[in-house]
Every structure is written in C-alpha cells, then in structure tokens.
Amino acid sequence: MRLLRALLRGASPGSIPQQVDFYSRFSPSPLSMKQFLDFGSENACEKTSFMFLRQELPVRLANIMKEISLLPDNLLRTPSVQLVQSWYVQSLQEILDFKDKSSEDSGAIHSFTDTVIKIRNRHNDVIPTMAQGVVEYKESFGIDPVTSQNVQYFLDRFYMSRISIRMLLNQHSLLFGGKINPAHPKHIGSIDPSCNVVEVIRDGYESAKTLCDLYYMSSPELILEELNAKSPGQPMQVVYVPSHLYHMVFELFKNAMRATMEHNADRCIYPPIHVHITLGNEDLTVKMRDRGGGVPMRKIDRLFNYMYSTAPRPRVETSRATPLAGFGYGLPISRLYAQYFQGDLKLYSLEGYGTDAVIYIKALSTDSIERLPVYNKAAWKHYKANHEADDWCVPSSEPKDMTTFRSI
C-alpha cells in the first residue's frame, strides 16, 4: 500500500489517475497476426514501433487499470494486488515519459527499447501474484456468488490484457533489443511464420511425459494422427506463436496424463493419449483424447473457474518456479491463449470413460486478430449491476413429499 501511494505521489503533474482517465477513453487497437508478421518481416522499423507503442501501451494499460479499480475494496487491499497495481502504475509512468520525445531522437528510441525490456521483466510474475491476491482474499473473507462471478469476469479480461501487452513488449524487444535467438532465426519476434504444429505438440508431450515419469514412474504413450485437408501431403504449418501453442498442449497433456495414471492405477495398464490434428481452410483443430475417467458434466465449467481451485496455497517465489503451480489456473489461462487470436479451447467429457480437449486456431493469419478487453459503460455495469434471482427454477436437493397435497 505504501509503495503504491509513493508512486502516485511521485507521478508527474499530469498525475497518473488523470492519465488513466484520459487514456481509458480510447479503445485498444487490435492487430492481426498478418500485421505483426508484415511489420516484422518487411518494414521492421524501430522508429515506427516506438511511435505506435508509446500511444498503444498507455491505452491498453489504462483500460485494464480502470477495471482493477472496480474490484472489491478488500481484494484491492491485499498485498499481492497492491503490488500488481504498483507495477502497472510504474510501467504506465515510464511509457508516458516518452510521450513528448522526438521520433528523430535515436537516443530516446534506444532508451525506449531498454524501458520496454525493463517493463516486460517487471511484469513476469503478474499472473501468479494476482492469483496470490485472490487466495489471500478468499482465505480472509470467503467468497459469495456475486463476487465470484465478478472476479471471474475480471480475471479473464485482466489476464487477456496481460497476454496482449506482453505480446507487444516481446515483439518490440525481440526485434530491436539486439539479440537474435540462434535456435529460431526465422522467427519474427515471437511469431513463427511456418509454425510446425506437430513438432510443438510432440515437445509438449515430451515435457509432460518427463514430469509424469518422475511422479508416477510411468506414463501413457502418444498416438498422433494428422490430416492436412487444406494442402494434402504438406506439413501442418500455420502462422502462430509457438510458445502459446506449447503452453496449451503442455497443460492438456499434464491433465490427461494425471487422469489416465490415477484412473487406471489398479490395472497398471495405461491407455495411450490420442491426438488428432486437422488443418482446414479456416481452422486448425487439435483434439486430444484420454481414457482418464472423465468428469461429471456439472464440473466442466468449474475447471475454468479461477475461484474454484482446491489446491493447497502455493508459495510464490520467482518466475523461474513451475508456472502457476498449485493455483489451478492452467486451464483458464490456456483457454485465454487460444481465444487471444480468435480461437478457443473446449472440453467434452464422458464420465467414467475419458475427456476430449479441443483447441481451435485460425488457419489464416488475416483471421487471427487480437481479442482485447475494452473499458466502457458495458464493462462498468457488469461490476456494478445487482445480480437478481435466477429466472429458472432451482431444483431442490430433497424430493417433494407429494402426500402433503390433497385432492379437493
């Protein structure tokens, strides 16, 4: 709390609250994968990126900062949420320091790139730190249905905003930060123009398999099938961010392996995990099927609920720790990665048998457009609306005693 107040007091005379109000009046400008690709491959100009980011980053930061301020007061007072707020205030101030710098000043542009890298590193632990704040709030005050619904709405938007801001920071720092990844020389920033989907999926499987072997001393095999309906006989390639796809499939493999190992522990025979990849004219679809016993239909939505995790309280250390270990955030964050470029992630379960997880990705780079939250009256109303009683009957847990009704 003291750090946040100090940052606000130390803000320049335009002051951060006024700047947040000003920039939140503008809507973020979503970019398509093709725009990211074209800029990096054909017109990679640090000056152009500088001019765009010094306008766009404050808009994206301010929009989500307005929504943070609408959270319950007791959640805002938690140390972890205060820390996250202080990071956003500091980052916004640092970007605004370049507002009046000349785009012809090479020193200012170089300094801006250093600032972008510093902001990216500062925000490395935003997700687990905000998650820790929710845990602190839940332990101290409990959760009611209205608060749970509002926090779910906020976290989906907050984490999606964070993904989008990090995408911009990564693109600028990777393109102009002076370091080229020798392992991926053809990448345009974090984007692979010819992302080999099968290769990324196998990498995700091998990483999950290593964890599974360490914990269970065994692991289910992978059976992978692919169908390129768009270009038969050609490799399965799309323009995509490999790290996003890897995050999704790694999380799904971990869940599928755990369910398979525990559901079939008595027989010590572990059915393989089937993955089917299909590339069509509009969609790339990855379907993962396990024989892990599935889950009841009523629990499917809970798997994507940030407030539902029953895992023990994790310890937040550094970004080098296992990501999100113990928070139960793997599936909801994976779904956001899929939705970020207009795709999706869905679960279909057969209780007693297993679960199908399906990832949808846009096959065309022109259709892969950022999905960004915007702060407006509709968003404000969501936090302020009084949630009235459901307009459907709620079944009683006990059957009604029909003997109490008598005929007249």
Catalytic positions: 247, 251, 254-255
Q: What CA–CA distance (Å, rounded) separates 31 from 165? A: 12
Q: What CA–CA distance (Å, rounded) separates 375 from 136? A: 26
Q: Looking at the DSSP assignment, which residues form a beta bridge with residue 360?
A: 285, 344
Contacts 24+ apart (CB under 8 A), 352-355: 352/293, 352/294, 353/291, 353/293, 353/294, 354/259, 354/260, 354/271, 354/289, 354/290, 354/291, 354/292, 354/293, 354/294, 355/256, 355/259, 355/289, 355/290, 355/292, 355/294, 355/295
Runs of H (alpha helix) within 187-241: 197-216
Report how far Cα 141 is from the mean position of its chain's Cα atoms: 26
User: Which positions ≥6 away from 298 have C-beta within 8 Å?
Assistant: none
Count the Cβ atoms, other than its own, within 10 Å of residue 215.
12
Which helix (H) or strand (E) segment is 175 a member of? helix 145-176
Q: What CA–CA distance (Å, rounded) separates 379 from 65? A: 13
18 phi and psi angles, rounded to 5 deg? -65, -40
Burial 3-34 (b: 16+ CB within 10 A, else e): ebeebeeebeeeebeebbeebbebebeebbbe
Count the Cβ atoms, other than its own, within 10 Å of residue 325.
15
Hey, is 242 helix, strand or coil?
Answer: helix
Residue found by looking up tokens 């692991």 in the block: 219
DSSP secondary structure letters along 63-95: HHHHHHTTS-HHHHTSHHHHHHHHHHHHHHHHH
287 phi and psi angles, rounded to 5 deg? -110, 125
Helix 79-96 / helix 46-68 crossing angle, nearest 10 deg: 150
Hey, is 402 helix, strand or coil?
Answer: helix
Q: Looking at the DSSP assignment, which residues form a beta bridge with residue 273?
A: 222
